[in-house]
Amino acid sequence: MANKNSKGVYVAALVLFLGGIGYLLFSGFSENSVYFLNVSEALAMPAEKVSSIRLFGTVKPEGLEQRSDGPGVSFLIADKDNTTLSMRIDYRGAVPDTFKPGVEVIVEGGLAPDGKIFAAKTLMTKCPSKYQKENRKD
């Protein structure tokens, strides 16, 4: 009789354990899921859907402004496929040394409440070619 009860305890413990793991996986993925889009894809989405995304593009030379109220920068990024499409980015924080016009960047954040400016929380630049491994003949 004790053997029958102990099997029930093990089954209940297994069900609770698997349920807990499933809940942690589901909540972790839903809270930290961020879409990775280029400019044309972000512009095509409804503004309320662009609340937490990673945006990829190239820094345009026009419209580049250092922030006067602290560290950061405001700039335009162009779509990688259609350079006529661009989006205004507002970033407050330390600007990478490699940031300049023509550099490919990834920004993470979302559209500001006005729906016209992308408020970036992070700014990353793609490594320039001088850091890439060269093909050497030995």
Residue 29 token pair: 């993925």
d(C-alpha 2, C-alpha 91), whole Å = 65
Mean pLDDT, residues 11-23: 84
| pLDDT for the residue numbered 138 | 47
**Residue 27's pLDDT is what?**
62
In which residue are the tokens 């779509």 written? 79
- What's the mean per-residue pLDDT of the chain? 80
pLDDT in tens, 74-115: 999 998 888 888 899 999 988 988 889 999 999 999 887 777
- For the stretch 41-83, pLDDT in tens is 888 877 777 778 888 999 999 888 888 888 889 999 998 888 8
Strands of 1-138 (E only): list them: 35-38, 53-59, 65-66, 72-78, 86-92, 104-111, 117-125
